[in-house]
Structure 1
Amino acid sequence: MLTVDFDRFPVPAGCRLLDLGCGAGRHAFEAFRRGADVVALDYSHGEVAGVNAMLGAMALEGESPPTARAGGVRGDALALPFADGTFDRVIAAEILEHLPADTAAMAEIARVVRPGGWVAVTVPNRFPEQVCWSLSTAYHTVEGGHVRIYRLAELRERLTAVGLEPVGTHFAHALHAPYWWLRCLVGVHDDDHPATRLYHRLLVWDMMRAPRVTRTAERILNPVVGKSVVLYLRKPEVTSAVG
């Protein structure tokens, strides 16, 4: 399930892409399939190991692009181990809301993307996230959980302040918001409740089949209850002064 729309976020073959806070690697794998050279970075050893195992499986199955490279590495979003302007593209999907020092992470994102490069940032959308927080303390007080709820205008301003220019916004995953509301109601750690199991089956069916009825419903509902908000930004080109 991709949150970043790769039709709005062009990833040409041969570009260098950082998937920051890659988790299980969903965006990293999509970028790699498109021929990008991908670094999938996460603080979790387990997530990095899982990404590298999947990349190995892709190679064995002949699914790896012949001219692209990809690998998972462990690293800290507050002190990225890369030189300035290393990447043509940076994706930071559902990571900033976990970081107390999110301003430092934003500055690092802006530092490692090259002038003229693109950045995609996704965070939980304010209204659906507020509902989750109001329904369940456990939803956001777990170790490594969400530490803030962003206002879209505030997030846009803060990313602008570190040197990035917003170029587009959209909302995603409206059908997933009720699933999390249900989990918050019945127990966020209860994976076996009949209501959440049934709704999860619906989500899996939707992802596998992509029927017109649910795709249309989500497109209509995304601006209202989309679970995530996505910002696309560019780093301005360096202009030389004319004397």
Structure 2
Amino acid sequence: METIDFDRIAPSPETRVLDVGCGEGRHVHAAALETVAEVVGVDLDPANLAAARADYDEYVAGESDVPVTFCAGDALRLPFADGAFDVVCCTEVLEHLPDYESALDELRRVCAPGGTLAVSVPRAGPERICWALSDEYHEVEGGHVRIFDREELRAAIERRGFRRVDGHFAHALHVPYWWLKCLWWDRDQRDEAPLPLRAYDRFLEWDVMESPRPVRLLERALDPLVGKSVVYYFRLEGRA
């Protein structure tokens, strides 16, 4: 389930891709199936990196010749040289960081002139309902520390020399799941999730695995209205 649409980036065989806060590697795996030069995923959590590597070895390695690296690192202190990557992705990460502006500085630093920055954060409307339904949702360790105004985020990125070139919303069908999860947060944490939440979870798993066309078309129609994530694509001003 990718949030970033690589068709909107149009990478080339020379493109170097970095995914900051790669989690279990969904965008690393997707980028590795494109025609690119290399892909690097960085994350703070060793368990995430292990899962990302295991899934890559099982599902992607046999389908791709692209060099892929997973490494531990902090979004506030990325272990890479200035301008090392042509595409920098950062999805559903900034809302977890108290000092997200320093993270933006690092994303800017490692992005090559003329390169692309792809960023996503939770959309404010659906996110506010999650916060209203459950304090625990955003108070858990490592949880969300802010609700982004998307134009404020866009302005913060553009102050660093980027120009927005595209954008969209994503994952509308995941919004009801998170509302149900927040509504029954205490029960879900005790592995006592009620039937509606368990049933919707199974529906999403089926959708991810099977990708049925009618459901994909439904979500595409709903995304502009209630998409859970807002996704922006920026170009770093300057010659490539």
The CA deviation at 1:190 is 5.3
The reply to whether residue 110 of structure 1 matches residue 111 of structure 2 is: no
The CA deviation at 1:51 is 1.9
If the length of structure 2 is used for normalisation, what is the TM-score? Answer: 0.93
Counterpart in the other structure of 1:236 = 237
The CA deviation at 1:54 is 2.9
Counterpart in the other structure of 1:198 = 199
Q: Secondary structure at the match of 1:7?
A: helix
Counterpart in the other structure of 2:45 = 44
Count of matched residue positions in the alignment of Structure 1 and Structure 2 = 236
Question: Does structure 2 retain, via aligned residues, the 8 Å contact 1:183–1:189?
Answer: no
RMSD in angstroms over aligned alpha carbons? Answer: 1.7
Query: Amino acid of the residue matched to residue 189 of structure 1?
Result: Q
The CA deviation at 1:76 is 0.8
If the length of structure 1 is used for normalisation, what is the TM-score? Answer: 0.92
The CA deviation at 1:212 is 3.5
Task: Output aligned runs, 1:159-174, within 5 Å.
Answer: 159-174=157-172
Query: Amino acid of the residue matched to residue 235 of structure 2?
Result: R
Counterpart in the other structure of 2:3 = 3
1:140 to 138, 141, 165: 138
Cα distance change of structure 1 residues 11 and 58 upon mapping to structure 2, 3 Å threshold: same
The CA deviation at 1:207 is 2.2
Task: Output aligned runs, 1:80-159, within 5 Å.
Answer: 80-159=78-157
Q: In structure 2, what is the Cα distance between the partners aligned to 1:76 and 1:235?
A: 22
Q: In structure 1, what is the Cα distance between the partners aligned to 2:208 and 2:57?
A: 24
Question: Does structure 2 retain, via aligned residues, the 8 Å contact 1:22–1:40?
Answer: yes
Cα distance change of structure 1 residues 35 and 58 upon mapping to structure 2, 3 Å threshold: farther
Cα distance change of structure 1 residues 216 and 31 upon mapping to structure 2, 3 Å threshold: same
Query: Amino acid of the residue matched to residue 86 of structure 1?
Result: A
Cα distance change of structure 1 residues 95 and 56 upon mapping to structure 2, 3 Å threshold: same
Counterpart in the other structure of 2:21 = 21
Counterpart in the other structure of 1:34 = 34
Q: In structure 2, what is the Cα distance between the partners aligned to 1:216 and 1:139?
A: 30
Residue segments in structure 1 that go unaligned for 5+ positions in a row: none
The CA deviation at 1:155 is 0.6
Q: In structure 2, what is the Cα distance between the partners aligned to 1:168 and 1:85?
A: 22
Counterpart in the other structure of 1:64 = 64
Q: Which has the higher helix share?
A: 2
1:55-96 superposed Cα distances (whole Å, 9 cap, x missing partner): 33357x62232xx21111000101111111100100001000
